[in-house]
Chain A
Amino acid sequence: MSLLEIRNLSVEFASASGSFRAVDGVDVTVDAGDVLAIVGESGSGKSVSMLAMMGLLPWTATVTADEMTFDGKELRTISAKQRRDIIGKDMAMIFQEPMSSLNPCFTVGFQIKEALRLHLGLNRADRHARAIELFEQVGIPDPEKRLSAFPHQLSGGMNQRVMIAMAISCRPKLLIADEPTTALDVTIQAQIIDLLRELQQDTGMGLIYITHDMGVVAETAERVSVMYAGQKIEEQEVKSLFAPPHHPYTSALLSALPERAVSKHLPTIPGVVPGQFDRPAGCLFSPRCSFADDRCKAEKPPQSSKELGLARCHYPIILTSEELA
């Protein structure tokens, strides 16, 4: 049985101008020890789908799913109290902006020990010892001193390490990292990614890594799920995603990587992700797709076979062996 199993997850936001579907029929499966990357542009529903599972969305959001089980528990039917017992303990999350994700009014020590008391019921001395151990584990120098620091006294990278320490404090079975390096310097990014990978290997926890950086995906993940405008449009093993992708969007994303550029000008994907009012009738990517024809504009594409990466496309890209070579 998988650690996390989500079938047909949809999230709708009620707004003054009608409801907006931010996540549309997404499936997510993560096994114990699995590393899944979720890739997509801003606004493609990556973070929202994970927040929906954690129950952290504001009240304007309506979450529906056919199935949403974590570690054998059905997340749709459990009480708020039962959910709070799971999140922060077995399922933890780190966020994009480390500076604003920590409470400015409390020391980082207070914030990390709070979780230890809540979920593990450790006494004062044990909490302190465990907090120091965690800080060492995530590579924070001089942990004893840092515990009494306030977030504004630490750098962004240090704060993200604090967030990671907090997330892994109760030895979670699943860690969700929501663009954990976006707000950080490039050198610090690499350190944080290495740290997450090491922690994942040491503890064997499942890891969902949300990012829009394909380079990071190639380094960290085993499986990749590509999201576009709230839908999962392709899911593959990392190796086969890079050669070759089946959905035109994934292909366009990959060719937009600077490392892969062949011409002088970096190829880009024209246009933007459709919003609330300009959702196309057929394939959501059709307005920006260089291969789209009338059928793509009129009919919603079905999910293709597993061999074709579950690509939601009428004409999934299939390269012949000659083209590959």
Chain B
Amino acid sequence: MFKYIVIRLLTFLPTFFGVTLISFAFIRVLPGDPIIVMAGERGMSEERYNALMAQFGFDKPMLQQYWEYLWGVLHGDLGNSFVTKRPVWDEFFTLFPATLELSICAMIFAIALGLPAGVIAAVNRGKFFDRTLMTTALIGYSMPIFWWALLLIIVFSGNLGWTPVSGRISLLYYFDDVTGFMLIDSFLSGQKGSFSSAVQHLILPTIVLGTIPLAVIARQTRSAMLEVLSEDYIRTARAKGLSPGRVNGVHALRNALIPVITVIGLSVGTLLAGAILTETIFSWPGIGKWMVDSIFRRDYPVVQGGLLLIAVMIMIVNLTVDVLYGFINPKIRKS
């Protein structure tokens, strides 16, 4: 197992350099440059423009720029944002807990509902619950996410007034950032009502962000379960006199989990990259929104560094999923 992880970590290297190259090239291919964006509507003189280009090093040959960037990355320096002047590294870790908190909640929501729903649908194949669930899942999967978010806001925040419209916590509360996770920090602060305020702010974004993973997990669980339920060992389990709950929930589900874990891993990867639409609609200060803003500002270091960190994050999630396979499927553990 240890050897396997080391080998997998080595395969990260080409991906890592590939991502640095692509993110470096990608932002420079876009029309415009940071200096023009900084100048804004007024524009600037030719001299001033050239001076600024030289100051930021954009007049050097591309290869040299890339090499300097890569050299910095290898020394743990992702550069500073052109806009805020803060190190990209710091900005990322200020914003990432918000994305992580929302992603974790959305995944818990999706798994907690999707797995049992998929199992029940498979066991009651072709019956009313199965058909209803699969239709609902298809609708959930195809629905435009911003429209779904607005709909929920109108109903639950607007008409019913049950949940706040946006943000992570009510303005009434203020406490120090300890972990960056609003649920934990508000709990630690001990301020009355702050925790429930944080929970209320999380509800709608969690539902919106979790909807697509929920639909995917439910459908995947159902089809994996259907395949497993026709296996010989399920007949053996039933021949032992085990209850349907144990046959389906232990003997079948354990085998069906293997493809489901793959889907969950892919979803987690996507969520960690920041839910651009969800974060924008709910003014959630996460990295999805941060990346989009930086692209518009042509904030080269932030886009490069942000993409690189997200890629690393996804690689770590994929590795975790592969290691998890081994725990679920003993056949993989051996090889």
Chain A's closest residue to B252 (CB) is A103
In the assembled complex, 22 residue pairs joining A and B whose CB atoms fall closer than 8 Å, in A order, are A84-B242, A87-B238, A88-B240, A88-B242, A92-B239, A95-B235, A95-B239, A101-B236, A102-B233, A103-B236, A104-B233, A104-B329, A104-B330, A104-B331, A105-B254, A105-B255, A105-B329, A106-B251, A114-B242, A118-B242, A150-B330, A152-B331
Q: Is B14 an interface residue (CB 8 A)?
A: no
**Which B residues are CB-close (under 8 A) to A100?**
231-233
Min C-beta distance of A83 to chain B, whole Å: 8
B219-248 interface bits toward A, Cβ cutoff 8 Å, 1 = contact, 0 = none: 000000000000111011111111100000
B306-335 interface bits toward A, Cβ cutoff 8 Å, 1 = contact, 0 = none: 000000000000000000000011110010
**Which A residues are CB-close (under 8 A) to B240?**
87-88, 114-115, 118, 166
**Which B residues are CB-close (under 8 A) to A115?**
240-241
Number of interface residues of A (CB under 8 A): 29
B47-61 interface bits toward A, Cβ cutoff 8 Å, 1 = contact, 0 = none: 000000000000000
A107-132 interface bits toward B, Cβ cutoff 8 Å, 1 = contact, 0 = none: 00000001100110000000000000
Contact residues, B188-242 vs A (CB, 8 A)? 231-233, 235-242
**Which B residues are CB-close (under 8 A) to A103?**
233, 236-237, 251, 254-255
Q: Is A199 an interface residue (CB 8 A)?
A: no
Known contacts A101-B235, A104-B255; A152 and B330 CB within 8 A of each other: yes
Min C-beta distance of A183 to chain B, whole Å: 11
8 Å CB contact of A95 from B236, B254, B334: B236
**Which B residues are CB-close (under 8 A) to A93?**
239
Q: Is A5 an interface residue (CB 8 A)?
A: no
**Which B residues are CB-close (under 8 A) to A163?**
236
Min C-beta distance of B114 to chain A, whole Å: 20
8 Å CB contact of B241 from A89, A97, A101, A152: A89
Contacting pair A84 B243 (CB below 8 A): yes
Chain B's closest residue to A93 (CB) is B239
Contacting pair B241 A56 (CB below 8 A): no
**Which A residues are CB-close (under 8 A) to B231?**
100
Complex CA gap A84/B241 in Å reads 4
**Which B residues are CB-close (under 8 A) to A84?**
241-243
Contacting pair B242 A102 (CB below 8 A): no
**Which A residues are CB-close (under 8 A) to B239?**
54, 56, 87-88, 92-93, 95
A77-89 interface bits toward B, Cβ cutoff 8 Å, 1 = contact, 0 = none: 0000000111111
Chain A's closest residue to B234 (CB) is A103
Min C-beta distance of B328 to chain A, whole Å: 7
Contacting pair B241 A150 (CB below 8 A): no
Complex CA gap A150/B231 in Å reads 17
Complex CA gap A114/B241 in Å reads 10
Chain B residues within CB distance 8 Å of chain A: 231-233, 235-243, 251, 254-255, 328-331, 334
**Which B residues are CB-close (under 8 A) to A51?**
235
Known contacts A97-B232, A163-B236; A88 and B328 CB within 8 A of each other: no
**Which B residues are CB-close (under 8 A) to A118?**
240-242
Min C-beta distance of B250 to chain A, whole Å: 8
Min C-beta distance of B239 to chain A, whole Å: 5
**Which A residues are CB-close (under 8 A) to B328?**
105
Q: 5 closest Cβ contacts across the A-B interface?
A: A88-B241, A88-B240, A100-B232, A103-B233, A84-B241
Most chain A CB inside 10 Å of its own CB: which residue of B240, B255, B331: B240
**Which A residues are CB-close (under 8 A) to B233?**
100-104
Min C-beta distance of B231 to chain A, whole Å: 7
A41-64 interface bits toward B, Cβ cutoff 8 Å, 1 = contact, 0 = none: 000000000010010100000000
Min C-beta distance of B260 to chain A, whole Å: 13
**Which A residues are CB-close (under 8 A) to B255?**
103-105
Contacting pair A101 B232 (CB below 8 A): yes
Complex CA gap A93/B236 in Å reads 8
Min C-beta distance of A146 to chain B, whole Å: 15
Supplied contacts A56-B235, A87-B240, 13 more A-B pairs, CB within 8 Å = A51-B235, A84-B241, A88-B240, A88-B241, A95-B235, A97-B232, A100-B232, A103-B254, A105-B254, A106-B254, A114-B242, A150-B330, A163-B236
Complex CA gap A318/B62 in Å reads 100
**Which A residues are CB-close (under 8 A) to B254?**
103, 105-106
A221-252 interface bits toward B, Cβ cutoff 8 Å, 1 = contact, 0 = none: 00000000000000000000000000000000
**Which A residues are CB-close (under 8 A) to B238?**
56, 87
**Which A residues are CB-close (under 8 A) to B331?**
104, 150, 152
**Which B residues are CB-close (under 8 A) to A106?**
251, 254
Chain B's closest residue to A102 (CB) is B233
Chain B's closest residue to A54 (CB) is B239
Contacting pair A95 B243 (CB below 8 A): no
8 Å CB contact of B330 from A54, A88, A105: A105
Known contacts A114-B242, A115-B241; A102 and B236 CB within 8 A of each other: yes
Min C-beta distance of B234 to chain A, whole Å: 8
Contacting pair A119 B241 (CB below 8 A): yes
Complex CA gap A84/B251 in Å reads 16
Complex CA gap A104/B254 in Å reads 10
Min C-beta distance of B225 to chain A, whole Å: 14
Complex CA gap A134/B309 in Å reads 55
Complex CA gap A89/B240 in Å reads 7
Complex CA gap A114/B334 in Å reads 24
Min C-beta distance of B162 to chain A, whole Å: 42
Complex CA gap A307/B119 in Å reads 54
Min C-beta distance of B130 to chain A, whole Å: 13
Chain A's closest residue to B329 (CB) is A105
**Which A residues are CB-close (under 8 A) to B235?**
51, 56, 95, 101
